[in-house]
Structure 1
């Protein structure tokens, strides 16, 4: 009997410690839209999506640190002088680092507002479109192309910068282990400077105040599940 009591005394604190573990893990996926932003560098929107796994560490009852490894598909559609509705797709591996304020709304409900930076590296994606032939009198003259988004223009790629970084903002509502959220991310890095060089040198007069230097913007509705 004494051994049983001692064993229980050792097990119960361990179980309580596990129940109060501030570290938790989750999986999350989402769909939304993305486009390019910047002065004289905006584009039309296109469908975007993301999926990943994340971790959360509770500093106290209110403040939480969040991070994740995410696969993100974003980009934009742009109609510029020598390209007819070029569709640029960018695939990234992305890591956000967020600080969140969490509010307990009831026994099974929580809401949180998070903000923080993210960094991303381009791992793939294709850009397709059409190059016009202005020497021809036909409106449909030209040819279509499809090239890799990332990589040197010397190698026949689109020349996009593989590195991206910016700020991420999120609002989530949790019901038990289910997570419903809305997120937006604003890129600070110029996606591509080669298009600007082509436009400025060969296709019209783009002054220094009208350079085409796009940056990423994306928003998502997400659904997730917390494992523990």
Structure 2
């Protein structure tokens, strides 16, 4: 059993800025990396999360360390739970009520969750691999704030976790500022693209895909206005 309390977190201003960054843009800003597998999905797509990771590793069938992690986590943290099975609950209504009182921002778990109707009513962001009523015991030690792998992505304590309707992206804390700059640039370019689309251009034209097709030996299609 390992429980680490002293975790280095990114500057709060950087973390707060990521609240305006989509999971997709954060992923694209890291050369299309660090996107959790699609099985880690939102319980309610209306809820998004963003915050430094407080990681938890639990053994099969046991969620004792989730309670420990909930106690160790600081306000603003996101609990990231590495579980070896989806057949024992890692999160539910009572844990959510406790988390809300402690200022925890949300949960990402490779295990299962239950009480999903209550979670939606509480508007608490939860991303999970499965929904199931299967219960867990609280008997076996695990770890808190150690490196874990969830959704095929390595998560270190303090990494910034961004989750929305599209999924979850993990931003390494040491790269956070650079990733934020690139994600902001991407968002600005997308805004410009939306404006050009509204003015009648096509993505084919905006993206220069005609030249790309020609370079691959394909025919030149021209614009929609060509005869």
Highest CA radius of gyration, 1 or 2? 1
Q: Greater RCO between the two (CA within 8 Å, min separation 6)?
A: 2
TM range (shorter): under 0.3
Q: As a proportion of its length, which structure holds more strand?
A: 1
TM-score (norm 2): 0.23
